[in-house]
Chains A and B, each alone.
Chain A
């Protein structure tokens, strides 16, 4: 890791001032993507601005009649073990409990994962499927507009993700096929039936533009929320990532299988 200067602002305004006053700064949350990236010298910001002590981002979970609201510095293990979330969206707490391993879940945060938008990250699929709203220091961004490609989001330079508001669905399910070595998703599907009846299918780990909605699957599942309704439906391999772990046609196959599995496991998760 190249030399860097660490800052620990205690307010949003202090953090933004630090960011804007630096030529080359990066926000730091749980650090479980950023620190490995720094160690491999793929990034070398001169300033690291640790956002975990800012009160607005503080670890917090609030469940209202229609929403689950999570502060962005909330660590995965807190979401995974939240009885309140387990009661209303078990697929969301189950997703959090399937990220990385125990030690990683003790440090990684929902805000960090969502701001980074790794194409194999878990949370982006829940944000997109549950029609979440991303709240920042300056505005609200609907999930539909938030994700803009690999590691790319609507966040402007210096903008801080403060909290995420998920809609509580009628029911949701999450199914994931992991790379057996890295444990990152090779294909995962988050399927939600919202209270007004609309269906959202979000796919992560597979798309060559990061997380995306599989609208053809949504149309089928609107007719009938069953795995049978997806019979014969395939996705174009040219939309998939291909690498040494899984070529595009295999990932396309996995997307269809994981979507069916998510439907078969509504109200929970199915992690392979």
Chain B
């Protein structure tokens, strides 16, 4: 057993867990945030994607004890109160889901993708960089549309920001 403290969505969570506890188990079973899903449990499907110190990782393949002291963002941490994160809003508007199981991982991976490219994304890049997230329902079409839309809004916000600052 080890005492592990991980800051999840801005809140420090301390638990005594077995060393074999996976980060996704820590998040779901010990902290009770069940928005992060376990799909394949073999590092392939990406349903368990969270941000670990700012980068998308598969939380089924990280030991909680190794993440001691880290910052984690899960799907529950994206929205600002009742206002959805732009990526969540885009998935909502474009219906970027069918059963919804892969959606939290898709959204966390997509937010990471927009950050890494600063919104400069095209369809080819989005499809390529979603290779670590598997959806077995929708064939990705609306997911890709949603990511491109959110990336476009990110670019627009970038351009708008200096103007707002000037005002």
Contacts and interface: CB of A to CB of B under 8 A. Distances in A.
A6 interface: yes
Contact of B66 (A2, A3, A6, A182): A6
A139 interface: no
Interface in B10-59: 18-20, 22, 41-44, 46, 49, 52, 55-58
Interface of B is mostly: mixed
B20 A101 contact: no
B49 A103 contact: yes
A180 B159 CA distance: 39
Contact of B19 (A35, A48, A101, A102): A48
A39 to B, nearest CB: 7
A6 B2 contact: yes
B113 interface: yes
B37 to A, nearest CB: 14
Contacts of A182: 44
A82 interface: no
Interface residues of A, number: 27
Given A36-B43, A101-B131, A103-B46, A2 B56 contact: no
A104 B18 contact: no
A32 interface: yes
A36 B42 contact: yes
Contacts of A28: 63, 66
Contact of B56 (A38, A40, A106, A183): A106
A28 B19 CA distance: 13
Given A101-B132, A104-B132, A31 B63 contact: yes
Contacts of B113: 102
Interface in B106-157: 109, 112-113, 129, 131-132
Contacts of B19: 3-6, 48
A242 interface: no
A38 B52 CA distance: 21
A107 B65 contact: no
Contact of B129 (A1, A4, A50, A102): A102
Interface string A97-119: 00011111011000000000000
Q: Indicate the member of A2, A36, A101 with the most B CB atoms within 10 Å.
A: A101
Most buried by A among B66, B109, B112: B66
Given A1-B20, A6-B2, A6-B19, A103 B65 contact: no
Contacts of B56: 102-103, 106
Contacts of B66: 6, 8, 28, 31, 50
Contact of A104 (B41, B43, B65, B129): B43
Nearest to B21: A1
A242 B112 CA distance: 38
A199 to B, nearest CB: 31
A102 B62 CA distance: 15
Contacts of B49: 103
Residue from B65, B109, B129 with most neighbouring chain A CB atoms (10 Å): B65
Contacts of B41: 39
A103 B58 contact: yes
A32 B59 CA distance: 11
A192 B22 CA distance: 40
B61 interface: yes
A103 B20 contact: no
Given A103-B57, A183-B131, 19 more contacts: A3-B19, A3-B20, A6-B66, A28-B66, A31-B62, A31-B63, A35-B61, A35-B63, A39-B42, A48-B19, A100-B132, A102-B129, A103-B109, A104-B43, A104-B58, A104-B132, A106-B55, A107-B57, A107-B58
22 contacts: A3-B19, A3-B20, A4-B20, A5-B19, A6-B19, A8-B66, A31-B61, A32-B43, A35-B43, A35-B62, A36-B61, A38-B20, A77-B55, A101-B132, A102-B109, A102-B132, A103-B49, A103-B109, A103-B132, A106-B57, A107-B57, A183-B131
